[in-house]
Amino acid sequence: MNRLLKFFVLGLLVASCSKPESGVEIYQGEALGTTYQIKYFSDKDLNFQSSLDSIFEVINASMSTYITKSDISRINRGETGVEVDMHFKKVFEASEKIYQESNGYFDPTVGTLVNAYGFGPEDKLKEIDSTRLDSLRKLVGFEKVRLTQSNTIEKEHPGIYLDFNAIAKGYTIDVIADHLSQNGVDNFLIELGGELRAKGKNIENDASWIVGIDDPGQQAGNRTLIAKIKLENVGMATSGNYRKYRVDSVSGQQYVHTINPSTGKATRSNMLSATVIAENCMLADGYATAFMALGFERSSEMLKEVQGISVYFIYSDENGENKTYVSPGTENKLVD
């Protein structure tokens, strides 16, 4: 079984800044348990490293389940009266939106099950039988959690465990993008753990930013791209289990395991990779995770109801062959 929720941990901050030529700045390092790279163009002599570190620190203090004193950890322990910040509030509200649109397949309260299966910061259960699973399911359901007008969290049961790992990384990118824009930077590309946010263009090439989508069938140590996409003033996120899908011995169909919030069980999904382009990276991040859990058929139905996004899906058909679906909004962004 593979965890589809993205890890959001306090990583060792190892950062550097380079200036390969006049007007070009590149920041790269490690944060939130992954790597980041920021490339931007500016005539001003700007230094964003301290502000970047502050952004990572503030968001970790708000939403990292790996920091015991963070707001979300205190809430998960059952503390009441914890007043959350604006970052938590924005992520909560976006999560609620995607939860409703996906009929519960995107659910930040699934953290209880994630921990039980051994993919979270808490100790996993030695055995998950039907009785234990029924007990855990009572703690799952985003409708059982409420954000009050005083910015505190009310839970129907103190044992409910919130986990925003599937959307918080995208939100962090958006915060960085807003910070760059507020300081007069109009051309940049931000990458954090594979998620992206672009603005303006690549001045070096006098062209749009070009990014790639990994081939889920690639071999270890040999990265190959299945498509290249032109990004202009949007966010993009990809959720997938590259090289980690399973093959049914009878049908030959490829699938990945996801945790179904409604049943608590690890179910099969024939979606091997879901790339989403949206107005910001937070929404792209959340929708990409939802589509992985839904599978191709249910994701196709959900797409009919969701506005403002485009997708690039890689899925396994009934014969076990990899297929792609490219929505019109993405098709016109593809680069030969």
CATH number of the domain encompassing residue 257: 3.10.520.10
Structure tokens at 197: 């946010």
- Total domains in the chain come to 1
213 beta partners:
227
pLDDT at 216: 73
Q: Is 166 known to sit in a ligand binding site?
A: yes
Q: How far is CA 70 from CA 62, 141, 222, 298, in A?
A: 5, 22, 38, 35
254 bridge partner residues: 247
Q: Let me know if residue 291 belongs to a domain.
A: yes
Whether 27 is covered by a domain: the verdict is no
Give residue 319's pLDDT: 85
168 annotated ligand binder: no
Instruction: Retrieve residue 225's tokens.
Output: 């791209």
Residue 94, CA distances (Å) to 84, 99, 119, 226, 281 in order = 15, 9, 23, 30, 11
Amino acid at 176: I
- Asked if the structure places residue 321 within a domain, the reply is yes
Q: How far apart (Å, rounded) are the C-alpha atoms in residues 204 and 227? A: 22
Please report the pLDDT score of residue 201 as a whole number: 95
The pair of three-digit structure tokens given for residue 91, joined into one six-digit string: 């992520």
Q: Which residues of the chain have pLDDT under 70?
A: 1-22, 118-128, 217-221, 241-257, 266
* Residues whose CB is less than 8 angstroms from the CB of residue 13 and which lie 6 or more positions away in sequence, other chains included: 29, 30, 31, 53, 56
Distance of alpha carbon 232 from alpha carbon 106, whole angstroms: 27
Look at residues 252, 266, 268 and name the one whose alpha carbon lies nearest to residue 317: 252
Residue 164 within any structural domain of the chain: no
Residue 285 annotated as binding site:
yes
Helix, strand, coil share (%) of the chain residues, nearest 5: 30, 30, 40
For residue 311, being part of any structural domain is answered with: yes
Mean pLDDT score of the chain:
86
Q: For residue 85, how many C-alpha atoms fall within 13 Å in the half-sphere facing its CB?
A: 10
Query: What is the identity of the amino acid at 102?
Result: S
pLDDT of residue 2: 35
pTM: 0.88
Does 213 map to a domain?
A: yes
Residue 250 pLDDT: 53
Range of the domain at 278: 209-335
pLDDT digits (tens, 9 = 90+) for 83-124: 999 999 999 999 999 999 999 999 999 878 877 776 655 665
Whole-angstrom distance, CA of residue 171 vs CA of residue 235: 10
231: in domain: yes
Residue 65 lies in a domain: no
